[in-house]
């Protein structure tokens, strides 16, 4: 699977994220500080990764900044994106299952290498729920997006 990857710094788990994805059989598409020709500010690089997903150049994305919050907010501004800030495996699994999240946001400050492995394992092992109420909630997100502010 093609995974867009963005980080505003080459620190913490950002240093090894692309390799961790390759080890799992994915093809990373790099943005921000991970690509020397890209703008590395969190809002710009997270948007670029999210647009890869929204426009079909990648199936999912992983976006990172110091807290993960800014990267998740920026990604969620792109139509069709459901970014989830995940600090543990259970949250990552739930975000995929119940929210059909297509962008994983991570904190460069708090995510350890061990947590990264657990989060990625849970994220990629989970599939979106087919339960009627879960599907309805995700569809409603699209309705909210189409209505705008």
DSSP track, 37-98? TS--SHHHHHHHHHHHHHTTS-SEEEEEESSSHHHHHHHHTSTT--EEE-SSHHHHHHHHHH
Which pLDDT belongs to residue 118?
A: 98
Cα dist. 86→94, 99, 107, 132 in Å?
A: 10, 13, 8, 24
Tokens describing residue 6: 């963005």
Tokens describing residue 84: 């989830």
Instruction: Answer whether 108's CB lies under 8 Å from 12's CB.
Output: yes
Nearest to 108 by CA among 22, 42, 24: 42
Read off the pLDDT of residues 28-51 as tens digits, 9 standing for 90 and up.
Answer: 999 999 999 999 999 999 999 999
User: What are the residue ranges spanned by the domains of the chain?
Assistant: 2-147
If 0-12 CB within 10 Å is exposed, 13-18 middle and 19+ buried, where does residue 43 land? middle
- Residue appearing with tokens 């994106």: 81
- Please state, as a whole number, how many other Cβ atoms lie within 10 Å of the Cβ of residue 142: 12
Nearest to 123 by CA among 88, 78, 74: 88
All residue ranges of the chain with pLDDT < 70 are 149
Round to whole Å and give the CA distance between 49 and 107.
16
Which of the following CATH numbers is that of domain 2-147: 3.55.50.30, 3.40.190.10, 3.30.750.80, 3.40.1400.10?
3.40.1400.10
Which pLDDT belongs to residue 148?
A: 81
Read off the pLDDT of residues 121-140 as tens digits, 9 standing for 90 and up.
Answer: 999 999 999 999 999 999 99
Query: Which amino acids are annotated catalytic?
Result: 65
Helices 14-23 and 113-125 pack at an angle, to 10 degrees, of 40
Which pLDDT belongs to residue 149?
A: 62
């Amino acid at each position: 699977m093609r995974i867009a990857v963005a980080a505003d710094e080459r620190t913490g788990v950002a240093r090894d994220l692309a390799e961790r994805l390759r080890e799992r059989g994915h093809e990373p598409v790099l943005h921000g500080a991970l690509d020397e020709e890209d703008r590395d500010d969190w809002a710009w690089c997270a948007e670029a990764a999210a647009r890869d997903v929204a426009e079909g150049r990648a199936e999912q994305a992983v976006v990172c900044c110091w807290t993960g919050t800014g990267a998740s907010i920026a990604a969620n501004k792109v139509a069709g994106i459901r970014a989830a800030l995940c600090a543990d495996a259970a949250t990552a699994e739930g975000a995929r299952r119940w929210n059909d999240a297509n962008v994983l946001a991570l904190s460069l400050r708090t995510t350890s290498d061990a947590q990264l492995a657990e989060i990625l394992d849970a994220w990629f092992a989970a599939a979106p729920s087919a339960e009627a109420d879960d599907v309805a909630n995700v569809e409603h997100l699209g309705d909210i997006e189409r209505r705008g502010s």
